[in-house]
C-alpha cells in the first residue's frame, strides 16, 4: 500500500477540497494521512469517518495557547514545520501533497532529506497574490515560491487563469486544473432556509455563504439590503470576524438573516433554499480574487441558484456572462441595490435551464480524473 500524505496548516473547516481529493483516489489503495494543526475551530467534516486506511494527524501546538501576534504566528509555524518533518523524516512517502505555500518548505525539506517519491504542490488559491499580502512579505513569498517550486514534481491549481499564471511565471510545462466543484451525490431540500428563517414563499432570497468579513464585501451587501425592498432577503451563512456585525443587523432589519456554517455535506441542502447566490466584493481586488473560482460559485449552481457577482471578479464574470448563469454588475452598493430590486422570479427561472446544462457539463468526477492520472 502506498503512503499518501496531505499537509495543510489552515483551519480544518476550509479543507473540503482535501476530503474530496481523498475520496476521488480511494480506489487506488493508498494509505492516507491528513496532517493539520490544532485550531480553536475544528471543521465538522473531521468528525466523520474517513474510511479504512485514512487518518487525521492533528498537531496540538504549544504556541497555540499564546495571544495572537506576528511573533507567535512565526513560532507556531516553526513548531508545526519541525514536528511534521520529524514525524515523517524516516518514512517512505510515495506522494506528498502540499496545500499551501507556507508549508511548501516542509515538503521540499522532506523530499531532499527524507524519502519522498513524488512532491505535489496543490495550492487552494494564487498564493503570492492573495488578499492582505503586500510589501516585504509579498516579495519574500514570491522568491520563496520561485525557488521551492523547482523541486516540485506536479502543480495542481483551481482555475484556468491561475494555471496560466503559474506556467508563465515559473516557466512550467504542465499545470493540472482541478476546480472546486461539489460532488453530485448530494441530496437537498429546497425549503429549509425559508422554514428556518420564516421567510414568505413569495419573497426572493439571496444567499452569501463562506467567510464573513469586510474584505469579502459583507458590509456592502448588508448596506444594499438595508435600502432594498422588504421582500428581498439576504442570508449570510458561514463564519468569520464580522459575524457579530451581521447579528446586530438582523435585530434591526427583518430582511437580513444569519445562519452559522454547516458541514460540507449539508451546504447545498441549505443553499438550495435561496434564489440567487452572491459573490460581491467592492474595491481593487488582488489577483487571486480576480482569478478565483471559489467553492461557493459551484455550490450555488448545484443548488439551482443563479449567481450575482461584481465585475471585478474577472474570471467568474466571464463564465457567468458567457453561459448566462446570472449577472455581473459594477462593484457598488447602488448597483447591487438596483439589481436586487429589479429582479423577479420569471427572470430567475429563465436562467435555470442554463444552470442545469452547465452543471451537467462540469462535474467534480470529471475534474478528479486528473488526480488518478497524477498518482498513476
Q: What is the mean pLDDT of residues 280-293?
A: 92
- At 189-233, the pLDDT tens digits run 678 889 999 999 999 999 999 899 998 999 999 999 999 999 999
β pairing state of 30-37 and 2-7: parallel
User: Where does the pLDDT of residue 369 fall: very low under 50, low under 70, confident under 90, or very high at 90 and above?
Assistant: confident
Inter-CA distances, 48 with 19, 20, 42, 165, 238, Å: 11, 13, 12, 36, 20
Cβ neighbours around 323 below 10 Å, total: 17
What are the structural domains of the chain? 2-178 (3.40.50.2000), 192-361 (3.40.50.2000)
CA atoms lying within 13 Å on the CB side of residue 27: 7
- At 165-177, the pLDDT tens digits run 999 999 999 999 9
Q: What is the mean pLDDT of the chain?
A: 88
Q: Is the pLDDT of residue 110 over 70?
A: yes
Which stretch of 8-12, 33-37, 325-329 has the lowest confidence by average pLDDT? 8-12
Contact of 261 with 203, CB cutoff 8 Å? no
Percent of the chain with pLDDT over 70: 92
pTM above 0.85, yes or no: yes
Amino acid at each position: 500500500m502506498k503512503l499518501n500524505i496531505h499537509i495543510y496548516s489552515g483551519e480544518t473547516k476550509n479543507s473540503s477540497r482535501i476530503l474530496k481529493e481523498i475520496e476521488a483516489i480511494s480506489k487506488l489503495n493508498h494509505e492516507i494521512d491528513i496532517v493539520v494543526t490544532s485550531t480553536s475551530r475544528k471543521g465538522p467534516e473531521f468528525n466523520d469517518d474517513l474510511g479504512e486506511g485514512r487518518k487525521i494527524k492533528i498537531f496540538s501546538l504549544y504556541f497555540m495557547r499564546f495571544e495572537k501576534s506576528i511573533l507567535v504566528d512565526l513560532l507556531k509555524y516553526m513548531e508545526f514545520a519541525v514536528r511534521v518533518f520529524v514525524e515523517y523524516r524516516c518514512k517512505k512517502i510515495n506522494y506528498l501533497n502540499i496545500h499551501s505555500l507556507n508549508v511548501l518548505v516542509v515538503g521540499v525539506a522532506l523530499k531532499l532529506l527524507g524519502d519522498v517519491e513524488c512532491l505535489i504542490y496543490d495550492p487552494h488559491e494564487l498564493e503570492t497574490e492573495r488578499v492582505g499580502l503586500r510589501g516585504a512579505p509579498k516579495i519574500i513569498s514570491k522568491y520563496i515560491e520561485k525557488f521551492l517550486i523547482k523541486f516540485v514534481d506536479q502543480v495542481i491549481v483551481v482555475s484556468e487563469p491561475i494555471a496560466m499564471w503559474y506556467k508563465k511565471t515559473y516557466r512550467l510545462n504542465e499545470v493540472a486544473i482541478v476546480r472546486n466543484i461539489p460532488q453530485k451525490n448530494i441530496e437537498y431540500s429546497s425549503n429549509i432556509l425559508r422554514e428556518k428563517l420564516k421567510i414568505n414563499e413569495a419573497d426572493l432570497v439571496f444567499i452569501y455563504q463562506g467567510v464573513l468579513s469586510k474584505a469579502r464585501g459583507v458590509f456592502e451587501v448588508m448596506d444594499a439590503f438595508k435600502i432594498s425592498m422588504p421582500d428581498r432577503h439576504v442570508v449570510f451563512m458561514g463564519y468569520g470576524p464580522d459575524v457579530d456585525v451581521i447579528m446586530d443587523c438582523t435585530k434591526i432589519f427583518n430582511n437580513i438573516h444569519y445562519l452559522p456554517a454547516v458541514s460540507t455535506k449539508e451546504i447545498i441542502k441549505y443553499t438550495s433554499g435561496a434564489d440567487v447566490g452572491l459573490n460581491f466584493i467592492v474595491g481593487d481586488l488582488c489577483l487571486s480574487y480576480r482569478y478565483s473560482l471559489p467553492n461557493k460559485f459551484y455550490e450555488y449552481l448545484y443548488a439551482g441558484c443563479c449567481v450575482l457577482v461584481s465585475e471585478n471578479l474577472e474570471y467568474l464574470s466571464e463564465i457567468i456572462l458567457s453561459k448566462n448563469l446570472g449577472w455581473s454588475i459594477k462593484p457598488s452598493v447602488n448597483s447591487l441595490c438596483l439589481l436586487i430590486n429589479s429582479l423577479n422570479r420569471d427572470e430567475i427561472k429563465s436562467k435555470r435551464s442554463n444552470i442545469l446544462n452547465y452543471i451537467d457539463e462540469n462535474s467534480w468526477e470529471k475534474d478528479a480524473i486528473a488526480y488518478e492520472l497524477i498518482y498513476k
